[in-house]
Amino acid sequence: MNFQPNIKKTNRRAFPVKMLYAFVYPFSSGIVIYAGLMTFSVVVTNVTGLLPQIAKDLYEGQLNTAGSIFLWLFAFFMGGFFAGWCVEREKLLKWRYLHLLPLLAVACMFVVVAISGTNSDTLHPVIFPALVLFSIGIQNAMVSLTTSSLIKASQMTGVVNELGVDIAEIFHSVGEQRRVIQREALLRLIVMVSFLLGAMFSVAVFPSLHTAIFFFPAGIIIAVMLHDIVRF
């Protein structure tokens, strides 16, 4: 049986917009990952590492700690749910700009964290990480929805793995199929570099700004919203 690989469609006109998303969202997430780690001592851009901690806490009978981590998982889930709900309702009801509501929520939550104080002791160790994870869940969902699941804003594990698959496919493809795969590989490279640059920026600036650094990702999200308003 001959195996015909699926040719992924990358609209040429939409590609510059995807490149923009591939840079700004991971850059924002890169800022948040280091700032969140320094502020809350928790990786707040993904939930993979939280699952072993839940298993450990449940095994040791530390139900309060496990419950807190379950809250973070639920917040991440709700971020994706909220983003997906707004996007689908916009399609169904033809309510223009409804998809911007989740992004507005993200910007507001980053501002709340930014103005909550320079001392991490003033930040609730459970609620505030949940707010950030909710925001990152929205970002991941929005960029995934707008790029047909091609780009993830903060999940570098999958990006690196998929880039490896892309490189392998490039060596075994020709013509239009090869061009499409090369573009997707380029987008994933941009995601990785942008995430790294955002984290480096956070490392450099956080010691002087502390939680005020969250104003930067809030500004990035607002800029994305304004871009969408002008574009549509």
pLDDT of residue 213: 94
Question: What pLDDT is stored for residue 1 in this prediction?
Answer: 41
Is the four-CA dihedral 106, 108, 114, 117 of positive or negative sign?
negative
Let me know: does 95 contact 89? Beta carbons within 8 Å: yes
Other beta carbons within 10 Å of 146? 20
Q: What percent of the chain stands above pLDDT 90?
A: 26
Residue-wise pLDDT tens digits, 59-72: 888 888 888 888 88
Does residue 221 have a pLDDT over 90? yes
Integer Cα distance of 9 and 177 in angstroms: 9
pTM: 0.82
Give how far Cα 72 sits from Cα of 113, 116, 125, 164, 207, Å: 16, 19, 11, 30, 26
Of residues 46 and 177, the one with the higher pLDDT is: 177
Indicate if the pLDDT at residue 18 is higher than 50. Answer: yes
Which band of pLDDT confidence, cut at 50, 70 and 90, is reported for residue 15?
confident
Q: What is the mean pLDDT of the chain?
A: 83
pLDDT tier for residue 118 given thresholds of 50, 70 and 90: low
Q: Cα separation of 11 and 190, whole Å?
A: 18
Phi-psi group of 94: left, alpha or beta (phi > 0 → left; psi -120 to 50 → alpha; rest → beta): left
Rounded to an integer, what distance in angstroms lies between the CA atom of residue 229 and that of residue 161? 34
The neighbour count for residue 159, using CB atoms within 10 Å, is: 22
Instruction: Match 């020709």 to its residue by tokens.
Output: 174
Q: Is the pLDDT of residue 8 over 90?
A: no
Q: pLDDT tens digits for 76-100?
A: 999 999 999 998 998 888 888 888 9
Q: Please report the pLDDT score of residue 5 as a whole number.
A: 42
Q: How confident is the model at residue 7 (pLDDT cuts 50, 70, 90)?
A: very low
The structural domains of the chain, with segments of one domain joined by +, span: 15-150+195-231
Give the pLDDT mean for 15-21.
82
pLDDT digits (tens, 9 = 90+) for 49-60: 777 878 888 888
